[in-house]
């Protein structure tokens, strides 16, 4: 998967950070990590979190593979508002840190996006293809489906790119 063309309205106290720099940072973080934590909202308006493997489908979309019966999936079906955090949990305190937090929506993938997500999952996670060699086979063998988290707003900590405690936020335009 190649980097997309998302443009950000950058909001930060750091001077001179461009949309392109934020975009590059988001893409690096998405490409270098495998796990995310997704927060959804229950019908009782309570937060609920789940950790999942993901693949980037561009710099402002990630796909997860999960059962539509899970709590986070049923929550998203009722209210697609969601948040996500992505970071490397093996980072060392005191060394340059990187990760992101984002808000957006979590929805079931359509047919075209499912095909794209399946291709990316089998590319990133080689063992995934041992479960199913095609989307049709996957749909016959498993109840799990692809869901897409679409980033609308992001907060990035990328100390290599933006310096110590270099937080940069942006709204996807």
Residue 37 CA neighbour count, 13 Å, CB half: 11
Q: Under 8 Å CB-to-CB from 92, ≥6 apart: which residues?
A: none
- When pLDDT is cut at 50, 70 and 90, the band that residue 119 belongs to is very high
Q: Under 8 Å CB-to-CB from 159, ≥6 apart: which residues?
A: 96, 97, 98, 165, 166
Judge contact between 91 and 97, C-beta under 8 A.
yes
Fold of 8-172: Pnp Oxidase; Chain A (2.30.110)
- The rounded percent of the chain whose pLDDT value lies above 90 is 86
Judge contact between 71 and 82, C-beta under 8 A.
no
For residue 97, is pLDDT > 70? yes
Whole-number pLDDT of residue 14: 82
Whole-number pLDDT of residue 4: 60
Q: Which stretch of 12-16, 145-149, 165-169 has the lowest confidence by average pLDDT?
A: 12-16
pTM of the model: 0.92
Whole-number pLDDT of residue 129: 87
Mean pLDDT of 107-135: 94
For residue 2, is pLDDT > 60? no
Mean pLDDT of 74-81: 98
Whole-number pLDDT of residue 1: 55
- When pLDDT is cut at 50, 70 and 90, the band that residue 5 belongs to is low
Domain locations in the chain?
8-172
């Amino acid at each position: 998967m190649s980097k997309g063309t998302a443009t950000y309205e950058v909001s930060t106290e750091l001077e001179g950070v461009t949309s392109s720099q934020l975009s590059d940072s988001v893409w690096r973080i998405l490409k270098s990590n495998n796990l995310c934590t997704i927060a959804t909202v229950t019908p009782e308006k309570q937060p609920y979190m789940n950790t999942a493997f993901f693949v980037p489908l561009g710099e402002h979309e990630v796909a997860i593979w999960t059962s539509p019966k899970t709590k986070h999936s049923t929550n998203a079906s009722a209210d697609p508002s969601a948040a996500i955090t992505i970071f490397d949990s093996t980072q060392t305190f005191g060394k340059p840190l990187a990760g992101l937090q984002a808000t957006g929506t979590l929805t079931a993938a359509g047919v075209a996006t499912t095909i794209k997500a399946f291709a990316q999952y089998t590319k990133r996670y080689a063992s995934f293809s041992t479960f199913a060699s095609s989307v049709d086979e996957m749909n016959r063998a498993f109840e799990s489906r692809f869901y897409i988290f679409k980033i609308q707003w992001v907060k990035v900590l990328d100390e290599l790119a933006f310096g110590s405690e270099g937080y940069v936020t942006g709204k996807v335009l």
